[in-house]
Chain A
C-alpha cells in the first residue's frame, strides 16, 4: 500500500506547481490550466484523507466528484471569457487585459 505521505507530497507538489504557474504564466489558457492543477491537488487531498481517516465513509469521495464537476463548469465559463477577451483585445496575454481594472 502506498503510504499516505506520498499522496500529500503529490498534492502539495501539484498545488505549488499550480500557484507558480498562475503567478508566472502570461497566457490566459496556461493560467486556467494552473488553476485546474490547484483544484486537482485539493481533490487528491480529499480522497486521501477520506481513505485515511474514515475508510467506511464516502463524503470525501463525493466532494471530489463535486469539485471535478464544478471545475468542468468553471473551465467552460473561463474559456468562454478567454475567447471573448481574445476577440476584443486580439491577444490571449494577461497583460493585454490590464485595462479591465477601470
Chain B
C-alpha cells in the first residue's frame, strides 16, 4: 500500500537532474515543460495519496493510522541508525497537498513571470530541487532525515534567492538567509544529537503504533523513559534547541532578519518558498514533535507562545510602515507564521490523563489549519504582487495606485486574498484564525486579546497595501510612460485557482463551523487524530469579525482617497515612530552591531589570532624545521662518488665500533 509514494520524491529529483545537467542545451519552453509536467504528476500522486489515506482507509479506534511504506537504514552507528523513508500521517499528507498545489501553481506562473529570463532552465531545476527537498522534509520518518532535507531546502532557498546573481543585493540577501538559518540550524543539530543520545532513537515512532510496510527496516524503539530517568530537563532542552532551529527557518523574532531580504529573489520563489512552504517548516517541526512537547515539556511551550506573540506583533507593526509591496507581504508572512506558532504553543496538557486531547489542544488543529489556508492565500497574494511588479517594473507602492482599471483579474484575486487574511467570514483565513484565537482565549485571555489586536493590525496593513496598489493616487507620470497591463494567462490562471481554493475552503468551513458539520479540517487533522468537529464560538467569531471590519474601514478611510490627509498628518505627528517602523525597529542594525562589534571583535578576532599564530605557527614551525634540516644536509648529496664512499666507509666503521662496544 502507498508504494507509489516513492515517486512523489523521485520525480522532482529526476527533473532536477535532467534540467541541471542538460538544461543549458534545451529551449526554455522544453525545460519549463519538463519541470511542470513532473510536478503535475507529483501533484496527481499527492492527491491520490491524500484521497486514499483520508477516504480509502478505515480509522482504527477513531484514529488515522500512521503508515511507513518505505524505510531503510542509511547509516548505522552502533545502537543508533539514521534511516531514510516515507511516513504518512495526517499532517504529512496535508503538507503534501499544500506543497504540491502551491508548487504546481508557481511552476505554471513562472512560465509567464520568468519569460525570456536568462537562466530559465536553471530556475526550473532549482524549483524541482526545492520541491523534492520540501517533500522529503515533510515525509521524513525520523528527525535526522528531516534535518537533512531541512538543510537541502535551505540550500535551494539560497540558490533561488541569489538567482539574479549579477545583482549585489541578491547575493547579499542569499548569503544572509543562508548564514542566519544555518546559525539557527546549529541549535537544531545539537537538539537532535541530545535527543538521539538520550533516547537512543531518532524515529518519530513516539507511541509505537506506526504501521510499517513490508520489507522496511523496523524502527528502533525510542527509550523515552530512559531519557526522563536521566533528568527531566533533557527532553525539554532538546525540544527547545530544535525550536530555535525552527524559529530560524520560520523567521521568528529575532532570527527573522533574513526573510524580508529574501524578497530579492524572483517573486514566484517568494510565493513558494518564503510564504507557503519552507518558512512553515518550523511550525511543521513543532507539530511533528508535538506528542513530546505536550507530554514532557508543557511548560516549555510558553516559550513558543511568547516568541510567537512578540514576532506577530513586531512584524505586524513593521508591515504597517513598509513601502515595498513585497516587504509588506514578507512581514505579514512572518506575522502569520507567528500566529501558527502561538496556536501550537497554547495547547494545554490533556484532561483525564489523555496525552493527546482534541479539546485541550485545539491550537494544534488551528495551527495546521492556518498553515493550510495561509499557504493558499499568501501564495495568491505573492503571485498577485508578482503580476503587479511585472506590470509596473517596480516594488515601490509610490509608483502604483489606481491599478484596478488596468489589472482586473489581479485586482479581484488580490482583494479576495486580502479579505481572507483579514479574517472576514466566508473566506478561508476566517475559519483558521478564529480557531487560533479561540485556542488562545482558552489558554489565557491576555494572549487571546493580544492576538485579536494583531489580527486587527493584519486587516489594517493588508488593506493599506491593497488601497495603495489598486486605489489611491495614480502615478500618472510613470503610467503614461509605460501603461500597466494585465498579466498573461499563465500568470492569471494560478491566481484564479488559488482564489477558488481560498473561497471554496472558506465558504465550506465557515458554514461547517457555524452549523457544526463534520468533514471540515478538524475531521482530518487534529491533536488526538480522532474526528473533531469544528464549532465556532459565536462571541469570539463576532468580535474578531467586527474588529477586522472596523480596521478595514479605518484603512479605507485613511488610504482610499486620492489625497491622504490623515496619513500625511500621522507621518507629521510621529515621524520618529514611522521612521523606526520603516527601518524595522533597527533589528538589522542591532544584529550588525552584535555581530561586527561584539562577536567579530571580541570572539572571532582572538580566535583568528590563535589560529594564525598558534595553530598555523605550530605547523609552520614543523615545516620550517624540515626545510632547514633539508637545507643543511643537502650538500651531502654532492654527486661525487668518492665522497659517498668515504661516508659509507666511515659509517661502516662507526657501526662496527658501536657493535663492538655493545
Contacts and interface: CB of A to CB of B under 8 A. Distances in A.
What's the dominant secondary structure at chain B's contact region? helix
B481 interface: no
B637 interface: yes
Contact of B645 (A23, A95, A101, A102): A23
B646 A97 contact: no
Nearest to A24: B642
Interface size on A, as a range, is: 10 to 19
Interface string B631-645: 000000111111001
Nearest to A22: B645
Contacts of B640: 94-95, 98
B649 interface: yes
A23 B639 CA distance: 14
Which of B640, B642, B649 has the largest number of chain A CB atoms within 10 A? B642
B385 to A, nearest CB: 72
B639 A100 contact: yes
Contacts of A100: 639
Nearest to A98: B639
Interface residues of B, number: 9
A88 B609 CA distance: 57
Contacts of A22: 642, 645
Contact of B646 (A23, A25, A94): A23
Contacts of A94: 640-642
A17 interface: no
A19 interface: yes
A98 B645 contact: no
Interface in B104-128: none
B649 A101 contact: no
Interface string B641-656: 1100110010000000
Contacts of A31: 641-642
A40 to B, nearest CB: 18
A94 B639 CA distance: 9
A24 to B, nearest CB: 7
A23 B646 CA distance: 7
A91 B425 CA distance: 108
Interface in A79-102: 94-95, 97-102
A80 to B, nearest CB: 17
A32 B638 CA distance: 20
A22 B640 CA distance: 12
Contacts of B642: 22-25, 31, 94
Interface in A17-51: 19, 22-25, 31
Which of A25, A97, A101 has the largest number of chain B CB atoms within 10 A? A101
Contacts of A25: 642
B637 A19 contact: no
A22 B641 CA distance: 9
20 contacts: A19-B645, A19-B649, A22-B645, A23-B645, A23-B646, A23-B649, A24-B642, A31-B641, A31-B642, A94-B640, A94-B641, A94-B642, A97-B641, A98-B638, A98-B639, A98-B640, A99-B639, A100-B639, A101-B639, A102-B639
Closest 10 interchain pairs by CB?
A: A101-B639, A98-B639, A23-B642, A23-B645, A22-B645, A23-B646, A94-B641, A98-B640, A101-B637, A100-B639
Interface of B: 637-642, 645-646, 649
